[in-house]
Amino acid sequence: MVSVLVTAQIRLFRGDSNYNSDMAFSIENGFVYHGDHTFSRLVLFTISDNKVYHGQSTSTFDCLFTVNGDKVYQGDSNFSSDIVYTISDGKVYRGNSTFSSNCILTFEDDKIYMGDSNFPSDVLFTIQGINEISIALLACIVGPY
């Protein structure tokens, strides 16, 4: 698994677009902004040490998700009862499951698809960036659909 690097610049565009007007999220230096970070300085999330925090914080109290291997846990937990997502073969599953009925997102190339699909009509986001971010961390940012 690859986490965000310090100089990461990643953009998520709505659908199959790569126009700035369709930018849903931008990620720079571990901060996640709504839309283009040059226009919106409001930090939605902070990514640090495979954890996702609310706002511009790295306090345990603000920890929303913890990524450990192929699992995403609620808050600062590593208990199996707190598993939010399971990542397997480019797919994100709800809870501690890899059943196709629990698939909420599919990652393929630079696209994020809804559910267990890779049809062009099911593209939720197009990813553009100079560094990689783990599927687990992206799942935390875009949430379930």
Q: Rounded distance, CA 108 to CA 113, Å? A: 8
CATH of the domain at 24: 2.40.160
Provide the residue range defining the domain that includes 51.
9-142
Q: Examine residue 70 and state whether it is found in any structural domain, yes or no.
A: yes
Q: Examine residue 3 and state whether it is found in any structural domain, yes or no.
A: no
Q: What is the pTM (predicted TM-score) of this model?
A: 0.86
Q: Examine residue 24 and state whether it is found in any structural domain, yes or no.
A: yes
* Portion of the chain with pLDDT greater than 70, in percent: 90
Q: Per-residue pLDDT tens for 54-88?
A: 999 999 999 999 999 999 999 999 999 999 999 99
Q: Examine residue 2 and state whether it is found in any structural domain, yes or no.
A: no
Q: Examine residue 1 and state whether it is found in any structural domain, yes or no.
A: no
91-94 and 71-74 beta bridge pairing: unpaired
Q: Examine residue 45 and state whether it is found in any structural domain, yes or no.
A: yes
Q: Examine residue 4 and state whether it is found in any structural domain, yes or no.
A: no
Provide the number of structural domains found in the chain: 1
